Amino acid sequence: MDLDLGRDDIVVVGASLGVLRWLGEQLPPGSVVLVEEPDVIRRRGLAGLVAEVPAVSRVVPAEYQTGLAVDALLDREPGLAAARLVLPGLEYAVGAAARLAERLGLPGAGVEAADIFSDKHRMRLLADAAGLANPAYELVDSPAQATALADRWGGRCVLKPTRRSGSLGVQLIADPAEIARGWAVTAEPEPTVEATERGLPTGVLVEQTLVGPEYSVELLVADGEPIFANVTDKRLLGGRFPVETGHTVPAALPETDRRALRDVAIRLAGAAGFRTGVLHSEWIVADGVPTLVECAARLPGDMITALISVAYEFDFVGAYLRVLGGQRPALPAAPTAAAAVEFLLAPPGTVTAVDGVRQAQRVPGVLQVQLAVAVGDTIGEVRSSPGRSGHLLAWGAVPAEAASAARKAAEQIRFTVR
């Protein structure tokens, strides 16, 4: 990378392990300061991160997930004022990173855009105002209100928390009777290791169910100008919990359809006044119309950054950092190949054996096989992204070839559970 980074030049708010691994592999020792919630530091043992990830010089405790006091942080840690880049490492840090970047006069999403895309209800209101396609939706505070809406919409709806990520708390309701029984799953989502124990306030959004293929659009934006756009094909788990089970880059769509998805994503970014960074929006094409699902003002998860890097043959995260550093890197206009990820879903129970890893690694096109569970682990029902059991990353000359290789490799992995 050509950022010429020195000590403490990058501030990462929030400890996404995926981002930290990349930083550890790509950035100079001591170039990153990690700002994290005090209770998350203790619970995850992040004080030892400096030894494990040489790029991280130190871990700074600060409460940010329910609002960051920027001036108080800088008073305690005046060295942060010399940072050259600020970025969020996870969803709950988007607003805090935008505030810190703005206070330091550095490129970032912008506080208003960060707040809009951190709240799914505010995002819906923005899309309405911009004339973008939305499902019917309503913010509710009781199961009775949600049930009445589901009845109005033919007995089906989507329940989702207004402030969570990774499909946590999202439910596809097929029978209104399920709403009261499952209300707490959405209204009080289960805690995650990345969230503060203080609790993250959330509302409940009820949306009319959309039917159609789902895609995401990844935009890299520099000072309000989109300089790179990709469309990703998304595959989801059937049933009540719509967890993502696979992605392919690029989506195998006609250019007119890809352009339509890129155009609505760019309109969304412009409507929010999004300034600089990555915008990851999700869309369902319902009756031929790209209709907004969700949007995040941060790097996408689920290996999408790796898929883009493979398919377009450039370092997507590195380009993101260069843009945050005020540069305008030369970027490819089109992919040269394709890449896909398939996620592993072990059945519920205690894992007694995992077989087929070597066979999966031998499948032509496979680049990576990674397990997230081991013998002795207890697996529950997959209700959100962290509940998946690993992934397979594969390359192909075209999207269908990459997706086929990832699926074939995933079929080799066998979990035995008790």
Q: Does residue 127 form part of some domain? A: no
Q: Does residue 122 form part of some domain? A: no
Lowest-pLDDT range, 42-51, 139-148, 223-232, 304-313? 42-51
What is the residue-averaged pLDDT of the chain? 95
**CATH number of the structural domain spanning residue 93:** 3.40.50
Strands (E), 49-208: 56-61, 85-88, 137-140, 157-161, 171-173, 204-207
Question: Rounded to an integer, what distance in angstroms lies between the CA atom of residue 330 and that of residue 333?
Answer: 9
pLDDT at 179 over 90: yes
Tokens, residue 153: 């919409």
Q: Does residue 117 form part of some domain? A: no
Question: Is there a single domain that holds both residue 166 and residue 237?
Answer: no
Q: Does residue 54 form part of some domain? A: yes
| Residues 272-283: tens digit of each pLDDT | 999 999 999 999
Q: Which long-range contacts (CB under 8 A, 24 or more apart) does 287-293 make?
A: 287/212, 289/133, 290/133, 290/215, 290/260, 290/261, 290/264, 291/133, 291/134, 291/135, 291/210, 291/212, 292/123, 292/124, 292/127, 292/132, 292/133, 292/134, 292/264, 292/268, 293/210, 293/214
Question: Do strands 10-13 and 85-88 pair parallel, antiparallel, or not at all (unpaired)?
Answer: parallel
| Residues 354-394: tens digit of each pLDDT | 999 999 999 999 999 999 999 999 999 999 888 999 999 99
Question: Rounded to an integer, what distance in angstroms lies between the CA atom of residue 125 and that of residue 113?
Answer: 13
pLDDT at 21: 79
**CATH number of the structural domain spanning residue 179:** 3.30.1490.20
Question: Is there a single domain that holds both residue 276 and residue 185?
Answer: no
pLDDT at 16: 76
Q: Are 230 and 168 in contact (CB under 8 A)?
A: no
More confident residue, 2 or 142: 142
Q: Does residue 116 form part of some domain? A: no
Confidence category of residue 191, pLDDT binned at 50, 70, 90:
confident
| Residues 331-357: tens digit of each pLDDT | 999 999 999 999 999 999 999 999 999
Q: What is the radius of gyration, based on Cα positions, of the chain?
A: 21
| Domain boundary residue, one of 161, 184, 207 | 207
Question: Is there a single domain that holds both residue 46 and residue 101?
Answer: yes
* Closest CA relative to residue 297, chosen from 196, 393, 199, 220: 220
Distances in Å between the Cα of 299 and the Cα atoms of 73, 116, 377 are: 24, 16, 29
pLDDT at 46: 87
pLDDT at 1 over 60: no
Say what the alpha-carbon torsion angle 265, 270, 272, 275 is, to the nearest 10 degrees.
110
Tally of domains within the chain:
3
Question: Rounded to an integer, what distance in angstroms lies between the CA atom of residue 53 and that of residue 31?
Answer: 11
Annotate 85-101 with b (16+ C-beta within 10 A) or e (fewer): bbbbbbbbbbbbbbbbb
Q: Does residue 384 form part of some domain? A: yes
pLDDT at 200: 87
Q: Does residue 310 form part of some domain? A: yes
Task: For 310, list phi and psi in degrees, rounded to 5.
Answer: -70, -50
pLDDT at 3: 75
Question: Is there a single domain that holds both residue 320 and residue 389?
Answer: yes
Question: Is there a single domain that holds both residue 91 and residue 161?
Answer: no
Question: Is there a single domain that holds both residue 192 and residue 310?
Answer: no
Confidence category of residue 28, pLDDT binned at 50, 70, 90:
very high
Whether pTM > 0.85 for this model: the answer is yes
Question: Do strands 225-236 and 56-61 pair parallel, antiparallel, or not at all (unpaired)?
Answer: unpaired
pLDDT at 205 over 80: yes
| Domain boundary residue, one of 152, 174, 207 | 207
Question: Is there a single domain that holds both residue 310 and residue 332?
Answer: yes
Which residue has 């207004």 as its token pair? 162
Percent with pLDDT over 90 in the chain = 87
Which residue has 């009756």 as its token pair? 287
Residue type, 184: A
* Closest CA relative to residue 393, chosen from 413, 367, 362, 360: 367
Question: Is there a single domain that holds both residue 334 and residue 376?
Answer: yes
Question: Is there a single domain that holds both residue 89 and residue 21?
Answer: yes
**CATH number of the structural domain spanning residue 402:** 3.30.470.20
* Closest CA relative to residue 284, chosen from 226, 342, 234, 220: 234
Peptide bond into 242 cis (omega under 30): no
| Domain boundary residue, one of 178, 207, 236 | 207
Residues spanned by the domain of 184: 136-207
Question: Is there a single domain that holds both residue 377 and residue 228?
Answer: yes
pLDDT at 290 over 80: yes
* Closest CA relative to residue 98, chosen from 321, 250, 341, 297: 297
pLDDT at 189 over 80: yes
Question: Is there a single domain that holds both residue 332 and residue 237?
Answer: yes
Cα 301–303–305 angle (5° rounding)? 85
| Residues 240-277: tens digit of each pLDDT | 999 999 999 999 999 999 999 999 999 999 999 999 99
Percent with pLDDT over 70 in the chain = 100
pLDDT at 171: 95
pLDDT at 2 over 70: no
Question: Rounded to an integer, what distance in angstroms lies between the CA atom of residue 103 and that of residue 70?
Answer: 8
* Closest CA relative to residue 373, chosen from 349, 393, 395, 397: 349
Question: Is there a single domain that holds both residue 165 and residue 97?
Answer: no
Q: Are 231 and 174 in contact (CB under 8 A)?
A: no
Q: Does residue 249 form part of some domain? A: yes
